[in-house]
Structure formats: structure tokens, C-alpha cells
């Protein structure tokens, strides 16, 4: 039986890489999205304890901030892959799919990837110092391991770089005529809906 044209075996290697990178970020994003439910439940518990029982726990309150940071920092690459970031697109929506891929390619190469590398470089010492100190919350009863939270400042740009690579691979393949122009960077090798 012949394989469909968009099966992984028929896709060029860069398309398979783009697909794998997008799937990794989608898995991370979908997993961390559950933190929003946990954040709502913890917030409810904090409010209930505070106003219902006149008690509270610093660690519970800090955990809300941690969950919020996880959602935004670890979900950024998935949101990019789903084309969900806010875009001021006066011209972009009216462009042909091929021109959109030019914009995606140039934007990834000259804006997204350099900014991600910049965030990675400037965050490195900050995170390393936190690890060296085994930094914990300054509040009595706060969460230990603040260095884990700060490590997300390195994980986020790495994930965004990977998603940027997926966009670059896809855009180059579209522009070279190896993938259909209607194909979006997060749909590589999958049915376009």
C-alpha cells in the first residue's frame, strides 16, 4: 500500500525535524497548560483559607506565582507554534501564504532567534548565581528552590529557539517548493484544517 504524500517517510528531513520540534513544544505546552487549572484551585484554596478560616500559608501563595510563571514561560513556544501570539498584522493577513512564509522566515532569523539568544545569554549569570546560592524564598515558610523557578528563564528561550528553527525549516521548504504554500509552520506534515 502506498504511503500518503504527507506521511513522515515522504517528508524531507527538515520537515520531519520541524514536525518533531513542534510536537515537543506542543507536548510541553499542553502539559503546562494543566498548571492553569491547578493555579485556579490553589487560588480558591488560598482565598477560602484566608477569608473562611483566617489562616494562610506563604508557600501556597507563592505557588500561584510559580504556576503563573510556568504557564507563560513554558507555554510561549507552543503559543508561537500555534501562531497564537499577538501580531500587529496590518499587511500580514492580506499577504499570500508564500509571502507570509517570507515574513515568518525573516522574522525568525532576524528578530525571534536573536532575541531568544539574548535572553539566554543575559539570564545565564542570574540563574547560575541562584543555583550557586541554592536560593530559596526570602519569606519565612516560603518555597525552597527558587533556582528552579529562575531556571525557566533559560528553558523558555531554548524552547522558543527550537520552535523558531521549526518555523525556519518549514518556511525554507515552502519557499523552495518542497511543501505546499498553504502549510503553516505548526502543521508540517499534518492535515491542514
Lowest mean pLDDT among 14-28, 100-114, 168-182: 168-182
**What percent of the chain stands above pLDDT 90?**
73
Listed in sequence order, the DSSP H helices in 48-183 are 53, 58-81, 97-107, 113-133, 146-175
Whether 89 is in a domain gets the answer no
Instruction: Please enumerate in sequence order all residues whose Cβ is within 8 A of that of 120, keeping only pairs 6 or more positions apart, or say none.
Output: 154, 157, 158, 161
In degrees rounded to 5, what are phi and psi of residue 79? -60, -40
Is residue 41 situated within a structural domain? yes
Which pLDDT score is estimated for 179? Answer: 83
Gap between the terminal Cα atoms of the chain: 25
Domain range for 176? 13-82+95-184
Give the pLDDT confidence of 123-153 residue by residue, as tens digits.
999 999 999 999 999 999 999 999 999 999 9
Any domain includes 44? yes
State how many domains the chain has: 1
State pLDDT tens for residues 27-54. Answer: 999 999 999 999 999 999 999 999 999 9
The percentage of the chain sitting over the pLDDT mark of 70, rounded to a whole number, equals: 89
In a domain, 73, yes or no: yes
Pick from 182, 131, 142: nearest CA to 6: 182
Amino acid at each position: 500500500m502506498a504511503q500518503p504524500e504527507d506521511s513522515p517517510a515522504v517528508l524531507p528531513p527538515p520537515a520531519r525535524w520541524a514536525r518533531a520540534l513542534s510536537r515537543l513544544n506542543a507536548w510541553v505546552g499542553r502539559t503546562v497548560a494543566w498548571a492553569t487549572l491547578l493555579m485556579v484551585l490553589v487560588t480558591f484554596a488560598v482565598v477560602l483559607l484566608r477569608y473562611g478560616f483566617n489562616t494562610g500559608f506563604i508557600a501556597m501563595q507563592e505557588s500561584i506565582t510559580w504556576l503563573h510563571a510556568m504557564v507563560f514561560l513554558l507555554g510561549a513556544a507552543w503559543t508561537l507554534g500555534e501562531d497564537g501570539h499577538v501580531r500587529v498584522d496590518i499587511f500580514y493577513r492580506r499577504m499570500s501564504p508564500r509571502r507570509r512564509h517570507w515574513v515568518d522566515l525573516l522574522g525568525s532569523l532576524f528578530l525571534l532567534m536573536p532575541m531568544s539568544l539574548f535572553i539566554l545569554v543575559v539570564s545565564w549569570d542570574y540563574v547560575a548565581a541562584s543555583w550557586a546560592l541554592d536560593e530559596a524564598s526570602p519569606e519565612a515558610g516560603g518555597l525552597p528552590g527558587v533556582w528552579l523557578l529562575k531556571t525557566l528563564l533559560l528553558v523558555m528561550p531554548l524552547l522558543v529557539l527550537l520552535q523558531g528553527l521549526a518555523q525556519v525549516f518549514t518556511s525554507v521548504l515552502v519557499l523552495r517548493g518542497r511543501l505546499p504554500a498553504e502549510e503553516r509552520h505548526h502543521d508540517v506534515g499534518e492535515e491542514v484544517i
